Amino acid sequence: MDMRFVPIADHALLIEFDAPASDTVTQAVASLDLALGNAQIDGLIETVPAIVNLLVSFDPLRTDHDKITAAAKTCLSERSNVTRNSTQHSVGICYDPAFATDLAAVAAATGLSEDAVINAHLGGEYSVLMYGFAPGYAYLRGVPEALQVPRKPAAVRDVPAGSVVIAGPQCLITTLTMPTGWSVIGRSPAQVLRDDPDKPFLFDTADTVRFTRMSRDEFHAQSATPR
Amino acid sequence: MTRATLHVRFAGPLVTVQDNGRTGHLRYGVPASGPMDRLAMAAANIALGNAPGATTVEISMGGAVLECGEGPLTVAIAGGGFSVDHAGAMLAPWTVTTLRPGQKLNIRPGSWGSWAYLAVAGTIQCNQWLVSSATHSQSGFGGGALHTGARLEISDAETRDAREGDIAQPDFAVPTGRCHVTLGPQDHHFKEGATDLFFACPYTLTDAYDRMGVRLDGPALPLDEALSIPSEPIVRGSVQVSGDGVPTVLLADHQTTGGYPKIATVVSCDLNAVAQMRSRDTLRFVQVTPRQAIDMARDYAAKVKTYLSDISAARGNLMQRLMSENLISGVVYDDPKRSDV
């Protein structure tokens, strides 16, 4: 894969894989991310993995774009040795009509019954592509093709935290009450933002997620028990 | 352990608790947050004898009125040219003063600037999130927003009369209307001529201005027809252009990724002054190379270090200051037992 190293202002470098989004590229980004994290590079502050690229943020008083580029190239040449352990998560979801405000609309748009929408969503195997937009917004890729619907033309306000929303091939569990243009098909008691200083976020990129169906009673029981 | 309380008699929108922010969580969708003007916050803290990143109150153009309940408490105010009224007396915009119980401090927008910082001689008691009290404005995580009727508790409250007086304002804190940027990283997603337009024309800050960023008004920057870029990381200072060609400068509480192209990125050392600009102010973008950007960052850091060192020393108590100004020399008796400060 061809690479581009793009300097950003005085404090960051964007490392781009010159290829369309794919599992291969995601894996390459994840490997580079891990290698950079392990390399103890002077002046490196943090890395931000995304879909086809990765941002390296650094302290301009200690290093510069050229040094970070050189360090990243070293990591790339050695990265075949690095593998990460990805965790498999099982996440509850309740499709009760009170939570799944767009279930009927998704069914109508895809020509499926509501049960078929639910089963298709449960059948999906999701991988954590990246976090973005807002704290804990983990983009899960893997919405089955039959279920893929575009974003709504306008965002809906005040969608409750914990909503499970889909758009195109992506699915996410919201963590804040925020507007969204994605379709709301259920709600999850999963705490993506955790009150745990050692692991403040539930997922890491490249982890996998499967949804398991729960009743409204089970949902409330789990929501009431902080984990 | 001495306690002080500040009652929030009035707070405009976007008055929040901020320390110097949290790093290391961009990968989880969490921006650094922290002060919109890092220099001003550091100045308020340093002039008071605090660590530069200690928790402060960031005061917006909405202003704030705080009343000292339990006290006394020495505080510092810095940032922009705000109007500072302490119990009816007008103080300099950058100053250290001591609030006594019952006294009000009224901080309002003044001649220039959008953000002022109130540092306290003590520790503001507030919520922490990810080891920082910085407020993430969209979620309210961290110390949080201050609303009218709230009460701030300060532990280990002190009076530091040796710190009282005006704080020197550095000339480089004032916005120049020019803003240095490096090109990209997605400048190739624009139609030909868009970057020329971006550098040739002035842009005006609009009212769409909060801690996430400020939308600009000016010539539209036409995007490439074939625009479909995957969501990419954003930094503080990214100049993102939405589908209608309108640029937005992203600031302290920026979203961490976005699918719109970034035509340029503001050099970090210009962000403090840019954040102090106001709606309807005019901004011109000036291109520098990444190497020049690094040199600018290093020069700026050296200037800031010298400035903060200059304002860090206590001035002494009233008697010592009168002595040093030679106003009462020969009048005071020499008492060898006096050794305060």
The band of B338, judged by pLDDT with boundaries at 50, 70 and 90, is very low
Q: What's the pLDDT score for residue B151?
A: 97
Task: Tell if the CB–CB gap between A11 and B290 is shorter than 8 Å.
Answer: no
Task: Tell if the CB–CB gap between B233 and A54 is shorter than 8 Å.
Answer: yes
How many Cβ atoms sit within 10 Å of the Cβ of residue A181?
Answer: 14
pLDDT digits (tens, 9 = 90+) for A173-225: 999 988 888 999 999 999 999 878 788 899 988 899 999 999 999 999 988 75
What angle is formed at CA B268 by the lines to CA B266 and CA B270, rounded to 5 degrees? Answer: 75
Is it true that the peptide bond before B185 is cis, omega within 30 degrees of 0?
yes
pLDDT digits (tens, 9 = 90+) for A91-146: 999 999 999 999 999 999 999 999 999 999 999 999 998 998 889 999 999 999 99
A65 contact residues in B (CB cutoff 8 A): 290-291, 294
Q: What's the pLDDT score for residue A227?
A: 42
Of A14, A132, A135, the CB nearest to B185: A14
With contact defined as beta carbons under 8 Å apart, do B131 and B13 qualify?
A: no
A197 contact residues in B (CB cutoff 8 A): 130-131
Q: What's the pLDDT score for residue A78?
A: 80
> To which residue do tokens 């028990």 refer?
A225
Q: Which two tokens stand for residue A179?
A: 């507007």
Q: Helix or strand or coil: residue B153?
A: strand
| Chain A 186-225, residues with CB within 8 Å of chain B CB atoms | 197, 200-201, 205
| Nearest-angstrom CA–CA distance, B195 and B338 | 66
Minimum Cα–Cα distance from B300: chain A residue: A61
Minimum Cα–Cα distance from B140: chain A residue: A176
With contact defined as beta carbons under 8 Å apart, do B107 and B77 qualify?
A: yes
| B337 near A CB under 8 A | no
In sequence order, what are the beta bridge partners of B90? B85
Q: Quick one: how many helices (H) and strands (E) in chain B?
A: 5, 22
Q: Which amino acid is at B2?
A: T
How many Cβ atoms sit within 10 Å of the Cβ of residue B63?
Answer: 18
The band of A157, judged by pLDDT with boundaries at 50, 70 and 90, is confident
pLDDT digits (tens, 9 = 90+) for B99-149: 999 999 999 999 999 999 999 999 999 999 999 999 999 889 999 999 999
Q: What's the pLDDT score for residue A152?
A: 82
| Nearest-angstrom CA–CA distance, B98 and B72 | 7
Q: What's the pLDDT score for residue A81?
A: 52
How many Cβ atoms sit within 10 Å of the Cβ of residue B211?
Answer: 25
Whose CA is closest to B254, among A153, A142, A12, A188?
A12
Q: Helix or strand or coil: residue B61?
A: coil
For an interface test with A, the pick among B23, B251, B256 (most A C-beta atoms closer than 10 Å) comes out as B256
With contact defined as beta carbons under 8 Å apart, do A130 and B257 qualify?
A: yes
| B236 near A CB under 8 A | no
What angle is formed at CA A80 by the lines to CA A79 and CA A84, rounded to 5 degrees? Answer: 80
pLDDT digits (tens, 9 = 90+) for B181-239: 999 899 988 999 999 999 999 999 999 999 999 999 999 999 886 555 678 899 999 99
How many Cβ atoms sit within 10 Å of the Cβ of residue B105?
Answer: 21
A59 contact residues in B (CB cutoff 8 A): none
Q: What's the pLDDT score for residue A6?
A: 97
pLDDT digits (tens, 9 = 90+) for A44-53: 999 999 989 9
Q: What's the pLDDT score for residue B325?
A: 61
B233 contact residues in A (CB cutoff 8 A): 14, 48, 50, 53-55
A180 contact residues in B (CB cutoff 8 A): none
Q: What's the pLDDT score for residue A79?
A: 59
pLDDT digits (tens, 9 = 90+) for A16-32: 998 888 888 888 898 89
Minimum Cα–Cα distance from A196: chain B residue: B130
**In the predicted structure, residue B319 carries a pLDDT above the cut 90:** no
**In the predicted structure, residue B328 carries a pLDDT above the cut 80:** no
The structure's pTM equals: 0.90
Is it true that the peptide bond before A169 is cis, omega within 30 degrees of 0?
no
| Nearest-angstrom CA–CA distance, B61 and B273 | 15
Helices (H), A21-146: 23-38, 65-78, 103-110, 114-123
pLDDT digits (tens, 9 = 90+) for B72-86: 999 999 999 999 999
Of A8, A137, A197, the CB nearest to B235: A8
| B136 near A CB under 8 A | yes
Minimum Cα–Cα distance from A55: chain B residue: B233
Task: Tell if the CB–CB gap between A60 and B30 is shorter than 8 Å.
Answer: no
> Which residues make Cβ contacts (< 8 Å) with residue B284, sequence separation at least 6?
B177, B178, B179, B202, B203
**In the predicted structure, residue B45 carries a pLDDT above the cut 90:** yes
Q: Sheet containing B89-91: which strands, arranged edge to edge?
A: B89-91, B83-86, B104-108, B64-68, B4-11, B151-155, B123-125
Highest mean pLDDT among A19-28, B253-262, B305-314: B305-314
How many Cβ atoms sit within 10 Å of the Cβ of residue B291?
Answer: 14
Q: How close B155 comes to chain A (CA, Å)?
A: 24
Task: Tell if the CB–CB gap between B230 and A6 is shorter than 8 Å.
Answer: no
Q: Which two tokens stand for residue A119?
A: 């089963």
| B269 near A CB under 8 A | yes
